C-alpha cells in the first residue's frame, strides 16, 4: 500500500474546475515532484492535501487513513506537514521558538502545570529545547537559535521553515517551491539538505518546484499538471522528455 493515495481529486471555484480528477500514489521514502505552469493547480492540490480546501470529489488517504473533511491540525497530527511558497515564519519570535512551536503537538501539559511551572513543565521544556537544537543542527542553524527569525538571511529562513515542519514529526513532507528566490549555490545546498532529510528522517517528500535543475537532480518520479489535469506521470527522466511536457511546461 502506498503511503499517500490520492484518487480522482477535483475542486471548482466559481464554476471553474481548478483541479480535475487528479490521482497520485507515493510510496514510503519516495522523493516525488509535482510540476506545471503557473496556475496549473499545484498549490491547490497541496491545499486539499492539508485541509485548507475540501475537495468536491475524490479520496485522500495517508497510510490508509481517510483525510478528506479533516481539519488542518488533524491532518498535521495524522502525519502531513508543509512549507509554503511565501515563507511563513513567526518573524518576531526566535529561531528556537519557531521550531518549538512545531514540537507542541508532541509535548503536552495542562494550563495549570504551565502557570505554576510544575516539574512536568520544566522537564518538557528541557526535552523540547534539546529536540529543537538537534533539528537546528541538521540545518546548521544552532548558532542562530536566539536570533529573531526575521533577521535570518533568506536561504536560512527557508531552512528554518523546513526544520519547523519536521518538528511536527510528519510521515509526509510537502515542500512548496523550496528553492524560490535562491541563488545556484543555495539551491545546491538545499538539494543536499532535502536528500539528507529523506535519508536520515525516514521521510517521504512531495515537492512543487520550478527549478528544473533541482527537479531533475533529486525527484525520482514526477507528475505534471496543466490546466488542473494530469498531463504526464512517471519516472523523472521519461516525463521530462515527453514532448507534451516540453511544450506545455518548458515553452519550447
pLDDT digits (tens, 9 = 90+) for 145-181: 999 999 999 889 999 999 999 999 999 999 999 988 8
Break the chain into its structural domains and give their ranges: 1-79+170-252, 90-167
Residue 19's nearest CA partner among 44, 38, 36, 37 is 44
CA atoms 241, 244, 246, 249: torsion sign? negative
25: enclosing H helix or E strand: strand 16-26
Instruction: State the Cα–Cα distance between residues 214 and 229, nearest whole angstrom.
Output: 23
- Per the listing, cell 549555490 goes with 185
Instruction: State the Cα–Cα distance between residues 132 and 98, nearest whole angstrom.
Output: 9
Asked if residue 229 has pLDDT above 60, the reply is yes
The pLDDT, as a whole number, for residue 47 is 97
Q: Are 221 and 25 in contact (CB under 8 A)?
A: no
Terminal C-alpha separation, the chain: 38
Could you give the C-alpha distances from 42 to 52, 80, 101, in angstroms and in order? 14, 16, 27
Q: Which residues contact 206 (CB under 8 A, 6 or more apart)?
A: 4, 26, 32, 33, 34, 172, 173, 174, 175
Instruction: State the Cα–Cα distance between residues 94 and 224, nearest whole angstrom.
Output: 38
Q: Are 48 and 140 in contact (CB under 8 A)?
A: no
**Tens digit of each residue's pLDDT (9 = 90 or more) over 88-135:** 998 899 999 999 988 876 656 555 454 555 555 557 778 888 889 999
Q: Are 46 and 205 in contact (CB under 8 A)?
A: no
Instruction: State the Cα–Cα distance between residues 29 and 206, nearest whole angstrom.
Output: 10
- Residue 2, φ and ψ in degrees, nearest 5: -65, 150
The pLDDT, as a whole number, for residue 112 is 47
**Tens digit of each residue's pLDDT (9 = 90 or more) over 60-85:** 999 999 999 999 999 999 999 999 98
Q: Which SS3 state, helix, strand or coil, does residue 142 take?
A: helix
Q: Where is average pLDDT lowest: 29-33, 75-79, 213-217? A: 213-217
**CATH architecture under which domain 1-79+170-252 falls:** 3-Layer(aba) Sandwich (3.40)
As a dihedral over the C-alpha atoms of residue 123, residue 125, residue 129, residue 130, rounded to 10 degrees, the angle is 20
* Residues belonging to the chain: 252
Q: What is the DSSP letter of 151?
A: G
Q: Where are the alpha helices (DSSP H) in the chain?
A: 42-49, 72-78, 95-103, 111-116, 119-138, 154-167, 184-200, 212-218, 236-240, 243-245
Amino acid at each position: 500500500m502506498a503511503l499517500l493515495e490520492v484518487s480522482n481529486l477535483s475542486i471548482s471555484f466559481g464554476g471553474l474546475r481548478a483541479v480535475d480528477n487528479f490521482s497520485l500514489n507515493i510510496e514510503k521514502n519516495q522523493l516525488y515532484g509535482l510540476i506545471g505552469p503557473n496556475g496549473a493547480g499545484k498549490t491547490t492540490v497541496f491545499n486539499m492535501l492539508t485541509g485548507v480546501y475540501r475537495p468536491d470529489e475524490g479520496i485522500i488517504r495517508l497510510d490508509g487513513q481517510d483525510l478528506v473533511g479533516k481539519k488542518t491540525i488533524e491532518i498535521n497530527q495524522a502525519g502531513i506537514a508543509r512549507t509554503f511558497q511565501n515563507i511563513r515564519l513567526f518573524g518576531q519570535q526566535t529561531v528556537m521558538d519557531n521550531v518549538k512551536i512545531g514540537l507542541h503537538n508532541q509535548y503536552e501539559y495542562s494550563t495549570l502545570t504551565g502557570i505554576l511551572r510544575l516539574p512536568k513543565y520544566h522537564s518538557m521544556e528541557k526535552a523540547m529545547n534539546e529536540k529543537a537544537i538537534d533539528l537546528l543542527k541538521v540545518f546548521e542553524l544552532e548558532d542562530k537559535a536566539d536570533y529573531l527569525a526575521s533577521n535570518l538571511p533568506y536561504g536560512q529562513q527557508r531552512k528554518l521553515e523546513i526544520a519547523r515542519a519536521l518538528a511536527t514529526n510528519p510521515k509526509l513532507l510537502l515542500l512548496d517551491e523550496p528553492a524560490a528566490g535562491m541563488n545556484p549555490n543555495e539551491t545546491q545546498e538545499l538539494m543536499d539538505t532535502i536528500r539528507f532529510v529523506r535519508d536520515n528522517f525516514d521521510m517521504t517528500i512531495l515537492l512543487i518546484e520550478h527549478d528544473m535543475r533541482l527537479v531533475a537532480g533529486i525527484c525520482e518520479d514526477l507528475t505534471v499538471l496543466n490546466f488542473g489535469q494530469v498531463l504526464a506521470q512517471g519516472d523523472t527522466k521519461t516525463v521530462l522528455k515527453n514532448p507534451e511536457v516540453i511544450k506545455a511546461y518548458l515553452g519550447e
